Amino acid sequence: MSRKKIALIGGGQIGGVLTQLIALKELGDVVLFDIVEDLPQGKTLDIAEASRVDGFDVSLKGTNEYKDIKDSDLVIITAGLPRKPGMSRDDLLTTNAKIMRSVAEGVKEFAPDSIVIIISNPLDAMVTLFKKVSGFPVNRVMGQAGVLDSSRFSSFIAWELGVSVKDVNAMVLGGHGDTMVPLIRYANVNGVPVMEMLERKYKDAAKAKEVMDAMVQRTKMAGGEVVKLLKTGSAFYSPASSAITMAEAILKDEKRLLPVCSYLDGEFGVDGYYVGVPTVLGEKGVEQIIELTLDNDEQAMFDNSVNAVTKLVADMERLGL
């Protein structure tokens, strides 16, 4: 089996952590691309010089030229501005859409058979734009958001219940914005419903609901919480780890069921939009979309989130981006 080639477009905060994680896990050879001269060369050199102590052996190359990503198997895109305090993800639309267009053209030309994971915000719009400009089939274009949002939700549940986060399964669906949909009813600790555990802990259903609502709210605002603390940018360790989970599922054909920003063609009653839904990832990229039953409240939240995505995409089209 030949070594996989992974192109990372954007050598900023997330791009740097992605490079390091790919090296540590020896997932493949990395080409880190950025428009800033010397930045990707400096980051890859720094990480490569830890190869002896960390014990990894992969090739890491920094570049400012698209031709170096030629024939990559997988591309992960983080090019674009991150949020600063007080900004919403949607405030990044105009700037990042221009960047995403140029990236999509570069990837289309030099890595036309790659599978692409997008992280740049506003996520749902950037994935839509990449698909439109590249013309890639929808199974090869997806976005990372739900894995991170679900990991955040799972962390809050574990901290609240005093259990290992390894045993928590909780999924967040919908768009990657304030309307995202943490699925309370499906959240469990090794099969035991989280709501049941909260009700036993507090011996009061109303209090349990209040605690869960606070965790849901914190999940929706979790990106902003980090932005407020960091002041100069947004979260980068956890988004990188989340994208690596998806990358590993694809490169190793793991068939993992993960919440992925996938193209819906009638599933969940949505036609022609990218939305976060349970997705099976394997060597072909998006291999299955798993539909699940939503109750009335969940469906209303999901519809609201889909509306936010359609509005964002309409804004992008209205602005001619």
Query: CA-based angle 13:19:23, to the nearest 5?
Result: 150
Cβ atoms of residues 271 and 265 within 8 Å: yes
Which residue, 232 or 293, has its beta carbon nearer to ligand A3D?
232
For ligand A3D, what does the binding mask look like between residues 152 and 191, x meaning CB under 6 A? Answer: ------------------------x---------------
> Min. distance of Cβ 197 from ligand A3D in angstroms?
28
Q: Does the protein bind ligand A3D through residue 285 (CB under 6 A)?
A: no
Alpha-carbon distance values, 224 to 26, 66, 230 (Å)? 32, 33, 10
Contacts with ligand A3D, 54-83, as mask; x by CB under 6 A: ------------------------xxxxxx
Catalytic residue among 4, 152, 176, 220: 176
Q: Phi and psi of 297, rounded to 5°?
A: -65, -45
Is residue 45 within the footprint of ligand A3D (CB under 6 A)?
no
DSSP letter string, 34-84 = -SSTTHHHHHHHHHHTTHHHHT----EEEES-GGGGTT-SEEEE--SPPP-
Q: Report if residue 104 touches ligand A3D, rule: CB under 6 A.
A: no
10 binds ligand A3D (CB under 6 A): yes
Category of 285 on φ-ψ map: left (φ > 0), alpha (ψ -120 to 50) or beta: left
234 binds ligand A3D (CB under 6 A): yes
Judged by the rule CB under 6 A, the positions of this chain that interact with ligand A3D are: 9-15, 34-36, 78-83, 92, 96, 99, 102-103, 119-121, 123, 144-145, 148, 176, 233-236, 239
- Active site residue ranges: 176
